[in-house]
Amino acid sequence: MKGFCYNNIKDDIAENVTKRTKKGTIMDEKRNDNDFLMKPKIDFAFKEIMTDEKARIGFLSAVLKIKPEDVKETHILNPYLGKVHEEDKLGILDVHILMNDDTEIDTEIQLSEMRVWANRSLFYASKMYTDQIEQGQKYDVLKKCVSISILDFELFKDQEEFYSSFHIREDQRNLLYTDKMEFHVIELPKLPKERKKDSSDVELWANFINSEREEEFDMLAKQNPYIESAYKKLQIISQDKEKRLEYEAREKAIRDYNQSMYEAEQRGIEAGIEIGEQRGIEAGIKNMAEAYQKFGQSYKAAKEAVQEKYPNAEETLIDTIIQDVYNMQQV
């Protein structure tokens, strides 16, 4: 870590403790602790918010573009589908909801970029769909499955819209093949910087999920009664000590995972650079050998020139490349 000094940090802590003691700011710390609000885009917090039925109905109606009053009843099913592959280091903490018409909805938040997200969401939607039927049952028992992805990265980099919905349709005539499966994607980084007075409900919800400050939550809660209910739930769980510990553990797990992935990527880049340098050396040796051979220079002369140019190159590598160029064996 660049510029890290334990003694400096220790001195800063001691200085801050002294300042707090002198100014009597312990109450300020307590007040700040009471002001703590979880980030809704941390999946643990979002799952807890969705346990509020009014918030749940408001969110689903906004994303699915249906009237809230048309959603008669919803139930949260087991939010853990579990780890299916070892690549899912944190497992899946999603919200699995059953609608009153038996439609199943799976909502998942992904903070770090995942290039294969479309494949992943298709896999889990398909699993949700096929899990409905048992051997010997008829296909008419299958109900609609909906996947909602809330992403903190850009999945469709050539598109500006933050919200996309996908259905299975015929390419030319837009004919619906089946309504049994659909996908909704919210890309948080694409949210408009300035909010309009006539913002859609799905945009308001996306902003709520992406918010971190109290004033942002307050403003959004005033614009939508369902978001207001979600905000009240957020305030309650944020002051629950046990839930806060779970939230912080989850946040740390996500942060640690992202850091480990970043470090692995950096190691890969460094390894790639090393490989590139090695290949560059090999190409350089070959070019020199071909030049010496072309102008009638001896194998020995070529080797000496190469060793002078690439003093750190292994002799066996040099011999192998020059021998290949001269099409001869060293005597």
Distance CA 233, CA 217 (A): 12
Of 69, 142, 111, 106, the C-alpha closest to 250 is: 111
In a domain, 331, yes or no: no
User: Taking a C-beta distance cutoff of 8 angstroms, is the pair 265, 257 a contact?
Assistant: no
- Is residue 5 situated within a structural domain? no
First to last CA, the chain: 53
Q: Which residues contact 228 (CB under 8 A, 6 or more apart)?
A: 221, 222
Of 239, 262, 290, the residue at which a domain comes to its end is 239
Owning domain of residue 105: 37-239
Q: How confident is residue 132, by pLDDT bands cut at 50, 70 and 90?
A: very high
Q: What percent of the chain has pLDDT over 90?
A: 49
Residue 61 lies in a domain: yes
Tens-digit pLDDT profile for residues 162-199: 999 999 999 999 999 999 999 999 999 999 988 777 88
On whether residue 256 sits in a domain, the answer given is no
For 211-261, what is each residue's pLDDT tens digit? Answer: 999 999 999 999 999 999 999 999 999 999 999 998 998 888 888 877 876
Least confident range of 238-252, 256-270, 276-290:
256-270
Q: How far, rounded to the nearest angstrom, does the alpha carbon of residue 20 sit from its chain's CA centroid?
A: 38
Domain boundary among 196, 221, 239: 239
Q: Average pLDDT, whole number, for the chain?
A: 82
What is the band of 114 on the pLDDT scale with cuts at 50, 70, 90?
confident
Q: Are residues 60 and 115 in the same domain?
A: yes
Q: 172 and 298, same structural domain?
A: no
pTM: 0.70
Give the pLDDT of residue 9: 36
Residue 262 domain flag: no
Predicted local confidence at residue 92, as pLDDT = 57
Q: What's the structural domain count of the chain?
A: 2
pLDDT at position 91: 55
Instruction: Note whether residue 7 is domain-resident.
Output: no
In a domain, 55, yes or no: yes
Q: What is d(CA 60, CA 80) in angstroms, rounded to the nearest whole number?
A: 19
Give the residue from 213, 239, 265 where a domain finishes: 239
Q: Distance of CA 79 to CAs 50, 64, 84, 148, Å? A: 11, 20, 14, 14
Same domain, 173 and 113: yes
Give CA–CA dist 267/8, Å, rounded: 30
Answer yes or no: is 19 within a domain: no
**89 and 221 inside one domain:** yes
Closest residue by Cα to residue 37 from 259, 216, 229, 190: 216
Q: Are residues 161 and 308 in the same domain?
A: no
For the segment 45-89, what is each residue's pLDDT rounded down to a tens digit?
999 999 999 999 999 999 999 998 888 788 888 544 344 433 444
322 close to 303: Cβ distance less than 8 angstroms = yes
Co-location of 233 and 282 in the same domain:
no
Whether residues 287 and 204 share a domain: the answer is: no
How many C-beta neighbours within 10 Å does residue 125 have? 19
Whether residue 217 is found in the same domain as residue 287: no
> Quick one: how many helices (H) and strands (E) in the chain?
11, 6
Q: Say whether both 150 and 230 belong to one domain.
A: yes
**Same-domain status, 73 and 219:** yes
Cα separation, 260 vs 266, whole angstroms: 10
